[in-house]
Structure 1
Amino acid sequence: MTEKTFVEEIEKALEKSKGLNINELLFSYQGILYPMTVCSAETFQALENFEARKDDVVLVSYPKCGINWIILIVNDLIATTLKMKQENTELPFIECGDPEKYQRMKQFPSPRIVATHLNYNNLPKSILKSKAKILVLFRNPKDTAGSFFSFHNNAPSIPSYNSWEEFFVAFMNGQVAWGSYFDHAVAWNKHIDEDNVLIMTYEELKEDLVAGVKQIAAFFGFTATAEQIQSIAGRAAFQAVRDRSQETHGAAGPLLFRKGIIGDWKNLFDETQNQEMDAKFKECLAGTKLGAKLKYDVYCKP
């Protein structure tokens, strides 16, 4: 198979989405919905035999929580500290692409970036067995829902929802791509204290990117000077990333790096939806370490 570029892969997926409605876009695998433009049952079956390495850099988030931002930061850390340029020839998400991609990934030099939106319970067993370090990025659920809706409804080729109300019901019921935000959060919360797991939030990165980059470097064992950390954070500032997004991610760039602000949910949620989300958060995450880390009272109160 000829080497493809990452941008070509993204653009191919966008092209496949044209003319589909939401129901045609999503298919169910083991009870969770995924977009058929980038995922398939055959790829999921092949993924079960994925061979993880102990030095894989595993990056996880629910959709629209900032994982593409983290991928850029880690790529920059690898390039800066190891003088290694990661060649973007595959979609970085392990569940996306054709079933042969895992054979091609065997040729990738270490450290490989292994990114995913999968729930902890659906990760390939070899990732957990390898004890590779896993960075999980979360974002407050209201902004996550708002950003997810905007992604569907602002991208010309991606199927839209009829309304925010329709999307909100689907999101709360976990009937969106990659399933339920809350199932994802509950599953990861159980592993928050494991040595090889670091849970960070989008909000803490937005508030102090330099400290965030420093923490990521230390966790993965990249030896970066204070000056290098500073310049990586400068290149990763949201506006800088957005300005380069067409170059790095093709037509999808401005959709993936849209506003990047905290609290944009206030433009969408009505009082009933606020109460429903508050109750769900309380039910799933109140009193948990992840719940505390998400600072719900700071970021999700009107």
Structure 2
Amino acid sequence: MENRETFSEEIKKIFEDMKNTPEDQQQITHNGVLYPSGLCSSEIFEALSTFEAREDDIFMVAYPKCGTNWTVLMLQDMVYVVYNKNPSSLIPLIEFGGPGKYEKLKEESSPRILATHLHYDNIPKSFIDKKTKMLVVFRNPKDTALSYYHFYNNNPKLPTYTSWDTFFQDFMSGNVCWGSYFDQAIAWNKHIDDDHVMIITYEAMKEVCLIC
């Protein structure tokens, strides 16, 4: 397929460009939540507030390290088979990149595959109003925390933790990028019966793939 380069590779390129960013500037705060400064900005959050979703968008939502890359790739494969539509060259996470990205997304043919790590309350209102189909993925919080710990320490563009205990305290209190895993889980629990929302776990998807 064309444009098969995954967005994880694009993100690696962005982090590579951030090599000289001082550690105290590697994260920004927006509405009380931390985000990586090389991927998110106040400008993109402002532009995101007026982003127009489509009813036929496919929107994947997951806390970091819950299988985002894998799930997006599977969705892209499904759309390719059904619609013969190649994956977009744009990074699908809506909060990544610059404000100009949204103009390019307007030109994308449907169905668009979009994704986010954002808390339910921070998702653009148009996704909610249009009842865009949302696939929400969760992972065992213990595995999520461990994977996130290694992600922080293996990424030179995020603060390094000297011990698991220190990171665990920050993870439990939501003092990490994209905030609290548990706050996000509680928010989605309120929408578990919404017709346009499907909640699944990383473990369930993995089990199905092993059976297949």
TM-score normalised per structure 1: 0.65
Residue 198 of structure 2 corresponds to 198
Say which SS state the counterpart of residue 88 (structure 2) adopts. coil
Does the 8 A contact of 1:18 with 1:157 survive in 2? yes
* Higher RCO, 1 vs 2 (CA within 8 Å, ≥6 residues apart): 2
Say which SS state the counterpart of residue 179 (structure 2) adopts. coil
Say which SS state the counterpart of residue 109 (structure 1) adopts. coil
Identity %: 50
The letter for the 2-side match of 1:113 is: I
Change (3 A) 1:91 1:200: same
Matches within 5 A, 1:239-278: none
Deviations 1:65-100 (A, max 9, x none): 001110000000011121111232x22110111011
Q: Are residues 1:139 and 2:139 paired?
A: yes
Residue 69 of structure 1 corresponds to 70
Residue 155 of structure 1 corresponds to 155
CA distance in 2, matches of 1:8, 1:198: 27
Change (3 A) 1:204 1:73: same
Deviations 1:252-293 (A, max 9, x none): xxxxxxxxxxxxxxxxxxxxxxxxxxxxxxxxxxxxxxxxxx
CA distance in 2, matches of 1:20, 1:161: 17
Say which SS state the counterpart of residue 208 (structure 1) adopts. helix
CA distance in 1, matches of 2:49, 2:166: 34
Residue 119 of structure 1 corresponds to 119
Does the 8 A contact of 2:64 with 2:117 survive in 1? yes
Does the 8 A contact of 1:43 with 1:95 survive in 2? yes
CA distance in 1, matches of 2:111, 2:143: 32
Change (3 A) 1:35 1:47: same
Residue 12 of structure 1 corresponds to 13
Per residue, is there more helix in 1 or in 2? 1
Aligned length: 207
CA distance in 2, matches of 1:8, 1:172: 29
CA distance in 2, matches of 1:8, 1:146: 22
Does the 8 A contact of 2:51 with 2:102 survive in 1? yes
